[in-house]
Amino acid sequence: MVTSGWTAAPARAASLRRRGAVLERAILEAALEQLSTVGWNGLTMEGVAAGAQTGKAALYRRWSSKEDLVADALQAGLPRLGGAPDRGTVREDLLTLCRQARDAMFSRTGFALRAVIHECDPVQAERFHGVIFEGVVEPMIGLLCEVITRGIERGEVRPDAANGYVFDAIPAMMMYRSKMCTSEWSDQDLAEMIDQLMLPLLRPGGS
């Protein structure tokens, strides 16, 4: 009986230490880990609970479904791109920004996000549209806008290049090549995309 009481006390203390925000953070981390290793289809509430070393009931008290849990995990874990780079030329600014985007894509949360995008059916994917747009697409387009606008002010970029089609070009290309061609976007790949696609598109006179 003494031994049983001795082992139960640390267990109760550990449970108390991991309530509230601390436990929630552990659950979100476990969800990202599951997504990045077994993917969307392999993720289960039971597996996340085991990874967070808690009971399944602790998950369902906070999230009513796998979709809700994953949406919060992605939102909490998405890496931030930071401010727009200012390296003196639009080429160097775009290269720096693309490297930051590439590193985010291949982070643990980036792998988790791509598992959701690639494996979810269209109905499920709708649940994550806002997370992806607000956490990934909008920030990237905002930084591209700053870089291109600065290039216009320096005379490197044609004035009508600050439009949605141009802003979409890099994110669309990176996502397409990553998904369809399994490209990992080496520094050389990024430089070729900037030199062969973006600079001809941005230069005054299109030359």
Condensed to tens digits (0 to 9), the pLDDT of residues 71-87 reads: 999 989 888 878 899 99
- CATH number of the 2-65 domain: 1.10.10.60
- Return all residues near 129 (Cβ < 8 A) that are at least 6 apart: none
What is the CATH architecture of 78-206?
Orthogonal Bundle (1.10)
Separation of alpha carbons 187 and 84, rounded Å: 19
Report the predicted TM-score, pTM, of the whole model to 2 decimal places.
0.77
pLDDT band (50, 70, 90) for residue 95? very high
Domain boundaries, the chain: 2-65, 78-206
The confidence score (pLDDT) of residue 9 equals: 40
pLDDT band (50, 70, 90) for residue 105? confident
Average pLDDT over residues 55-68: 94
pLDDT band (50, 70, 90) for residue 128? confident
Nearest to 140 by CA among 102, 192, 106, 88: 102
Amino acid at 43: L
Separation of alpha carbons 30 and 67, rounded Å: 14
DSSP 47-77: HHHHHHTS-HHHHHTT-SSHHHHHHHHHHHH
Q: Name the residue with higher pLDDT: 12 or 24.
A: 24
- Residue whose tokens read 């988790």: 112
